[in-house]
Amino acid sequence: MNINYLQQKAAEIRLKVIEGVSSAASGHPGGSLSISDILAVLYFDKMNITPKNPGNPDRDRFVLSKGHAAPAYYGALALSGYFDENEIKKLRTIGSFLQGHPDMIKVPGVDMSTGSLGQGLSAATGMALYAKRRNKKFHVYAIIGDGEMQEGQIWESFMTSAHYSLDNLTVFIDLNGLQIDGEVKDIMNNNPVREKLTAFGWNTIVIDGHSIPEIGAAIDAAKETFGKPTAIICNTIKGKGVSYMENKVSWHGAAPDANLAELAMEELGQQLKKLREVG
Amino acid sequence: MALSTREAYGEALRKLGAKYDFWVMDADLSKATKTDLFADAYPERFINMGIAEGNLMSTAAGLASCGQTVFASTFAIFATGRAFEQVRNSIAYTNLNVKVAATHGGVLIGPDGGSHQAIEDISNMRTLPNMTVVVPCDAASTYEAVEQAINLVGPVYLRFGRFPGDDVYKTGSCPFEIGKGNVLIDGNDVTLIAIGDMVPESIKAASILKQNGIDAAVIDMHTVKPIDAPLIIEYAAKTGAVVTAEDHNIIGGLGSAVAEVLAENCTARLGRIGVQDLFGRSGSKEELKKYYKLTAEDIAEKAMALVEYKRTRR
């Protein structure tokens, strides 16, 4: 695992997030930036993917259950070679296949359409059930949001995957603490997350969701866990990497204007430059 | 004794399970939906999701995304009501190969009462792009509907009833093509277009009408979407009067689908037999048929009124 390389990829994904949402003048930068490191590790190290053959039946699956973080997802897919990076400038426009939320019919590499919160994790569970029953070797990954955990369906699928011992399913929980209307703990507290997941029969690992080595180690540990699914509970910062967005609920679903976008690109560009210098 | 369409559904799954590789999922109602017949025969292809219908639909979508055909079964009210948005976003929007196969559709499911009697399921499913809507009327056509749903790539809503009715077709010799209505009786004075339990009622209505000197055509419009518009137009032109009959709210179901075709293409007069924008209530099937005016006599009366209307307008 080349940590510097993956940190660079995370920075590149973040640049794509800003490029996408600022071009579209809408979208969800905060929760995209909070999962960029996870996506970098999945798409550039851990997942078995074949971007030139997106439908490969043996590929690992990924479901972005918090579908509003599509800009980061599209960034990871484009940088992996699923489609032309320039498409990201057309995000959310009528002529583009890049919809506001991921669409599996339109976007190469998207394994499940998401956007309506709570449904993606169930779909990931269905994929894992298939693999388990048919002895397929692929692994299924999903990312859910902490606000998304307020959806009852999330807990229905937590029950299902534990019930069916789906150790081929690994779920990242993006615990950034913020949702549209404010702090998760104020809107509808869902703590303690780890204790709840443990009680539901899950293997749980708590990490810094921006630490590439911790993300990598947690995935390795998940794949060594048998008989139960793994939740990697990621402490993250909404807006991570763009100073003025960090921990600001207002950047959940708002795009930066041209000046602010430039500021963000500059900051992320500096981060990338530094990584390239030491890498 | 005729089989109910739900029993025929379970039998069809069990038989077709030997011929095709598909999955069946249920939400703790397998004994009522009759998917237990499949579960017993093919446990490795059956998944019980517990009482969680939204989760059932999205999980079925994930399974289908792996190239699998999946039947997701529960009662119609839960499949299309509680889980509507999961069916919409996880199944229809994605155009995945999930057959939402629901039993206990309509008020004629009897004693469970209004909370369990889906009167809006066909309407809900009909508005979803990519969704095909099929309502077989007896055991033989249920078998054909299930097999054709397996062979049709994409989402299908299948609606089954609770209690047996009269058989309309003979087993093994049922003409059935999704999207093509079946003319069961030809006629010139009025056309009765029906689905489900109202098909045998319409056949009875045609004989009542015959005794009154009225020559009624009867069509089993088992596919509500895509509806067989050419057949409706042909019979509207031929008979000038159409009566629809369904165990469903008259708003949004078969009657509405036929009305849409007629309004854009024909000058025929339409009458709709169905649940008159009311919720259901407990009772026996026969009692409920009378209470909600879903009997052969009700259909015949409506048809006679239309024929009379035509005569006075001539």
Per-residue pLDDT at A171 exceeds 90: yes
Per-residue pLDDT at B52 exceeds 90: yes
pLDDT tens digits for A104-123? 999 999 999 999 999 999 99
Question: What percentage of chain A reaches a pLDDT higher than 70?
Answer: 100
Q: Is B170 exposed, middle or buried (0-12, 13-18, 19+ CB in 10 A)?
A: exposed
Q: Is residue B173 part of a domain?
A: no
Q: Is residue B170 part of a domain?
A: no
Give the residue-averaged pLDDT of A36-50.
98
Q: Which residue of chain B is at minimal alpha-carbon distance from A119?
A: B58
Reported ipTM: the value is: 0.97
Find the CB nearest B55 among A111, A115, A153: A153
In angstroms, the separation between the Cα of residue B85 and the nearest Cα of chain A is: 9
Per-residue pLDDT at B241 exceeds 90: yes
Position B27 scores a pLDDT of: 98
Reference B143, options B169, B182, B108; nearest CA is B169
Is A129–B47 a contact, with Cβ atoms under 8 angstroms apart?
Answer: yes
B66 touches chain A (CB under 8 A): yes
Is B47–A153 a contact, with Cβ atoms under 8 angstroms apart?
Answer: no
Given pLDDT bands bounded at 50, 70 and 90, which one contains residue A74?
very high
Per-residue pLDDT at A279 exceeds 90: no
In angstroms, the separation between the Cα of residue B32 and the nearest Cα of chain A is: 22
B193 and B137, same structural domain? no
pLDDT tens digits for B180-224? 999 999 999 999 999 999 999 999 999 999 999 999 999 999 999
Per-residue pLDDT at B314 exceeds 90: no
B147 and B15, same structural domain? yes
B192 and B152, same structural domain? no
Q: Is residue B256 part of a domain?
A: yes
Position B104 scores a pLDDT of: 98
B191 and B152, same structural domain? no
* Catalytic, out of B53, B120, B201, B301: B53
B89 and B208, same structural domain? no
Is A125–B62 a contact, with Cβ atoms under 8 angstroms apart?
Answer: yes
Find the CB nearest B55 among A104, A131, A156: A156
Q: Is residue B149 part of a domain?
A: yes
Q: Which domain holds residue A54?
A: 3-278
Position B171 scores a pLDDT of: 86
Position B162 scores a pLDDT of: 96
pLDDT tens digits for B249-281? 999 999 999 999 999 999 999 999 999 999 999
Give CA separation, B71 vs A19, A249, B10, in Å: 42, 42, 11
Asked about B53 being catalytic, the answer comes back as yes
Q: Is residue B52 part of a domain?
A: yes
Per-residue pLDDT at B232 exceeds 80: yes
Q: Is residue B84 part of a domain?
A: yes
Q: Is residue B235 part of a domain?
A: yes
B55 touches chain A (CB under 8 A): yes
Peptide bond into B226 cis (omega under 30): yes
Position B216 scores a pLDDT of: 98
Q: Is residue B171 part of a domain?
A: no
Is B62–A157 a contact, with Cβ atoms under 8 angstroms apart?
Answer: no
Cβ-proximal residues to B238 (8 Å cutoff; 6+ apart), any chain: B188, B191, B217
- The structural domain count of chain A equals 1
Is B89–A116 a contact, with Cβ atoms under 8 angstroms apart?
Answer: yes
B153 and B15, same structural domain? yes
Contact list, B97 vs chain A (CB under 8 Å): none
- The structural domain count of chain B equals 2
Q: DSSP for B179-216, please give it.
A: TB-EEEE--SSEEEEE-TTHHHHHHHHHHHHHHTT--E
Per-residue pLDDT at A258 exceeds 80: yes
B95 touches chain A (CB under 8 A): yes
**CATH number, domain with residue A16:** 3.40.50.970
pLDDT tens digits for B112-124? 999 999 999 999 9
Write b or e for each residue in A133-157: b if 16 or more Cβ atoms lie within 10 A of its Cβ, otherwise e: eeeeebbbbbbbbbbbbbbebbbbb
Given pLDDT bands bounded at 50, 70 and 90, which one contains residue A230?
very high
Give the residue-averaged pLDDT of A229-252.
98
Per-residue pLDDT at A99 exceeds 90: yes
The tokens describing A272, both together, are: 């990338």
Question: What percentage of chain A reaches a pLDDT higher than 90?
Answer: 100
Position B172 scores a pLDDT of: 82
Q: Which domain holds residue B100?
A: 5-159
**CATH number, domain with residue B14:** 3.40.50.970
Q: Which of A156, A164, A165, A200 to mutate to test the interface with B (most CBs of B within 10 A)?
A: A156
Give the residue-averaged pLDDT of B99-104.
98
